Amino acid sequence: MELLVATAIGTLTAAGIYMILRLRTFPVIIGTSLLSYAVNVFLFASGRLALNAPPVLRDGVEVYTDPLPQALVLTAIVISFGMTAVIVMIAVGSYLSSDDDMVNDPDADADQTKEGAA
């Protein structure tokens, strides 16, 4: 179980970093979402991976799950959804104003390299 969760976290992190390094805005947004999912799974797994275990410690119970990481993940999901909506609206506004969704402006980069060479 731990190997499966660790592999899922690693895969989400690698895919998120790969998507963030793209030059278009939509893959960058997807990459940040994947990274937030990886962090959420990591936080959730830090509360012990136990099936059918009570969330609080009682007398006679040796295996329990910690409710704090579950509460943190729930809060992080809500915040992540809100921030993703804000980033999408900023990206849509940028696309509508410039008719391009490139993260960097290739024309400005080309102009700077020409000025530096001269």
Profile the chain (118 residues) by mean pLDDT over runs of 10 residues.
90 95 89 93 80 72 75 90 92 84 66 59
Q: What is the pLDDT of residue 23?
A: 85
Q: What is the pLDDT of residue 110?
A: 59
CA distance 2 to 40: 15
Q: What is the pLDDT of residue 100?
A: 79
Provide the b/e sequence for 3-40 (b: ≥16 CB within 10 Å): eeeeeebeebbebbeebbeeeebebbbbbbbbbbbbbb
DSSP state of 56: S
Residue 2 CB neighbours (<10 A): 8
Q: How far is CA 53 from CA 49, 61, 66, 73, 89, in A?
A: 9, 9, 10, 18, 41
Angle at 26 between CA 39 and CA 37, to 5 degrees: 15
Q: Which residues lie across from 102 on neighbouring strands? A: 24
Q: What is the pLDDT of residue 113?
A: 61
